[in-house]
Amino acid sequence: MSFWNSLKSRTQEMNSTLKTKAGQFKNKEFAAGSMAMCALIAAADGSIDPSERQKTAALIMSNDVLAIFPPNELQERFSFYCDKLTRDYDFGKVEAIATIARLKSKPDQARAVIQIGIIIGGADGNFDEHERAAVREACFAVGIAPTEFDL
């Protein structure tokens, strides 16, 4: 099985697992961590172009797990992190990672945020090395071994 087929299969599996647990994740820290992760994926190559931002926003709105939150709330949080990353990538990245790190004491939610990053990163069929590196950093921030996700 090719890497892409394997990734596609795993992301479908992750998404269904996350749907089952979605109700447990309805809190501000999870919403913020998820949007910080999505913004990191969008900016993984060091910048966010408008089409990439729109594509990621559309993926967020179509994600069943994130549907537990009001769309305008997610949009506001996603835009907040994207704007930070656009203005100053390094400081924006520090803030996004710090937001994700707040979930360290909630391992189920931390794993879910990591899985959302993988799902968003692989949605276009190309989970590139920059996106993988962003997810690995998030793993380290929450104390989860990246190898758990084949990173």
Q: Among 26-30, 54-58, 86-90, which range has the highest average pLDDT?
A: 86-90
- Band (pLDDT 50/70/90 cuts) for residue 1 is very low
Fold of 3-149: TerB-like (1.10.3680)
Rounded to whole angstroms, the Cα distance separating 146 from 46 reads 21
For the chain, which residues make up each domain, given as ranges? 3-149
Contacts of 60 (CB under 8 A, 6+ apart): 35, 38, 66, 74, 75, 78, 120
For 101-148, the pLDDT digits (tens) are 999 999 989 998 998 899 888 877 788 899 999 999 999 999 999 998
Q: Are 34 and 109 in contact (CB under 8 A)?
A: no
How big is the chain, counted in residues? 151
Pick 16 or 107 by higher pLDDT: 107
